[in-house]
Chains A and B, each alone.
Chain A
Amino acid sequence: MDFFLIAVIVLGSIGLVAAIVLYVCSKKFAVDEDPRIQQVNELLAGANCGGCGFAGCGGLAEALVKGADKGRIDGLSCPVGGAETMTRVADLLGMAIANGDPKIAVVRCNGSCDKRPKTNEYMGLRTCAAMNSCGAGETGCGYGCLGCGDCVEACQFDAIHLNPETGLPEVNEDKCTACGACAKSCPRTIIELRKKGVKGRRVYVSCVNKDKGAVAMKACKAACISCGKCVKECKFEAITIGNNVSYIDYNKCRLCRKCVEVCPTKAIQAVNFPTPKKSETSEAPEKKQLS
């Protein structure tokens, strides 16, 4: 009996002491986590893609809550969830958000196999990063798409694929969340996140070649030769030329497509516009390529 009692007393007192220590510790060293972080996290897309600039959804949730406490959460957004998710998050945090326009990844290279002839063969590791560090790649263009699909590898949403015919990546508009992973993975920064546009209508320069016109043209028939015709044609001052390549500011562009018509190399692309009744404009083949 004694034996039994001693055991109960000893164990009981150890348990009591441990409980007191634990209680004191839990009060004294309590980490005060805002319950809203968990709530926001649940609202986010949960893809942990890193498209927001944080390591995962948890990071963004924390930043959002902290931001809300300071009174501003602009600049923080979940590219995957888009406006819908962000509105819900804002409601939860009691904030109003200025909804950014939805964006989409745009591949700014038009140098398909027929327009940009192969000049040599690369035998090393078939990744764009490795090929880029070895030289200009298999064509004469030192700026264009290398076609090894680092962007395809980087995409977590199965939204970008290489077209075997053109050798260029194509973005699936329904699947692309504009997380920017492909843009980051491209060693030549060809992929840009651009405004998705009304009904997905966009006009952009599909070339990033910084060589002078004649040199660029020699490497690729679809290169921007910085002739400046588009700049003259644009009434909205949306087009600028820098480093021998023209660029359309998507915030200024009114989608009039005048520049598309004047571009001598067809480097300017217009997508998702309805096919015109008249057959004289040249949109049909371009639409086919990016649809």
Chain B
Amino acid sequence: MNIKTFRIGGIHPEENKLTHEVATEAAPLPQQAIFPLSQHIGAPARPIVQKGDKVKVGTILAEASSFVSAPIHSSVSGTVAKIDTAIDATGYRKPAIIIDVEGDDWEESIDRSKTLETLSAHPELTPEEIVERIKKAGITGMGGAGFPTFIKLCPPPTAKAECVIINAVECEPYITADYRLMMEKSDEIIVGLELLMKAAKVTKGYIGIETNKPKAIALLSKKVSEFRSQSPYQIEVVPLKQRYPQGGEKQLVDAVIRRQVPAPPAIPVNVGAIVQNVGTAYAVYEAVMKRKPLFERYTTVTGKRLQKPGNYLVRMGTPMQLLIDLCGGMPDGENKLLAGGPMMGKALTSTEVPICKGTNSVTILSGDEARRKEPQPCIRCAKCVGVCPMGLEPYLLAKLSAFKQWESAEQEDIVSCIECGSCQFTCPAHRPLLDNIRQGKQTVMGIIRNRNTKKQ
């Protein structure tokens, strides 16, 4: 059988999935939980609690402040210590709500039973009701980017959704949180997918999984066939050839339904696909069926030198230090701490950064692994052009950005870059291609935004 994958570019970095078979444990509660107000793309949430307020697990702390925004719920019970600033994954101090943890008292509205609720048992759930519950639960994309989920389910009138694709690719090295979720919560994921499909008013769903997770493919295929008899929704598990960055939305759409998403501002729904992370599907199940807002997630804590890397069910707001201690503490010597995997993760400067909605992994690389090599002159080998999954010319974009040639950079489609880092990974001269391109992309996007606001 010909295994599917996306058509242009791609690399295959060393997988290093150290924690594939480590069953997920619930991480202990922190003493103090930190909730940054900006955990998603869009406007930061607006706090609605005050210093001294008592909160329970699941209490809303901050509400959405505009259309593209998401509410934030408490993951712990206790007292609001202060509304201050705290270092978040951006590396800067940002407004945050800090809660002193006392006990573990949940809101009564949350159904904590383990029974599986199926969609056929709840005919009262209309698409609008599902979207509303997802919105209220503060669900944002769990794969890292953190785009509010409900917006994706309501495509603009110019586009029509035809299918929902579940992103269970996990192409990033080291991370295994999605894999463990699939192995441990397969039924819930499928119900979650059905909910997403109902909300998006489509009947076709796909679950894309890379072939380095054969057990997950087998398990989900089995579950899908069990569900098929009692469900009007057609779900297909699609095994995909291992290739980075297959977990990128556009790459996944290409791999699964063979359609290429045009350059920005086009989004996957313009070719009929809504892509959601597998963690999002699970969160949707919990939010809609169990009335549980998004306040905990599966997170991998990994690194070659960690004594006991593992997968944890973590309450949001838990400082990373606590998780690192669970794994045997920070290794001696030089370390690089990342929120996310080694390819797209964000380097952090503090272990007090809390786990947020999009933190799928805490990766600790040794200094030797992480240290960059001295950049050499570009030899025009065009390896970066060959691996770019967006069909761009990274060497050129990097040069144009370095020389501040914004107009040419825009013509060369710099805004299409998905910042996957394949170019920099493959460059034999160790040139900081992505660093330059990212800079250029940000600037060009600013220029385009200014131009558009001027036009209006």
Contact = CB atoms under 8 A, between A and B. Distances in A.
Given A119-B349, A123-B370, A133 B92 contact: no
B442 A211 contact: no
Which of A125, A136, A212 has the largest count of B CB atoms less than 10 A from its CB? A125
B427 to A, nearest CB: 13
Given A119-B349, A134-B91, A135-B92, A125 B435 contact: yes
Contacts of B370: 123
Given A124-B435, A129-B439, A133-B439, A142 B371 contact: no
B69 to A, nearest CB: 22
Interface string A111-147: 0000000011001110101100111100010100000
Contact of B439 (A120, A127, A135, A212): A127
B454 interface: no
A82 B180 CA distance: 68
B436 interface: yes
Given A124-B432, A125-B439, A130-B435, A135 B347 contact: yes
A22 interface: no
Contacts, number: 43
A149 B160 CA distance: 49
B85 A130 contact: no
B346 to A, nearest CB: 8
Contacts of A135: 90-92, 346-349
A123 B435 CA distance: 10
A136 B347 CA distance: 11
A211 B91 contact: no
B91 A136 contact: yes
A134 B347 contact: yes
A136 B86 CA distance: 13
A190 B316 CA distance: 35
Interface of A: 119-120, 123-125, 127, 129-130, 133-136, 140, 142, 211-212, 215
Interface of B: 85, 87, 90-93, 346-349, 370-372, 432, 435-436, 438-439, 442
Q: Which 10 A-B pairs have the closest CB atoms?
A: A135-B91, A125-B435, A125-B432, A142-B92, A123-B372, A136-B91, A120-B349, A124-B435, A130-B435, A130-B439
17 contacts: A119-B349, A120-B349, A123-B370, A123-B372, A124-B435, A125-B435, A129-B439, A130-B438, A134-B347, A135-B91, A135-B346, A136-B91, A136-B349, A142-B91, A142-B93, A215-B85, A215-B93
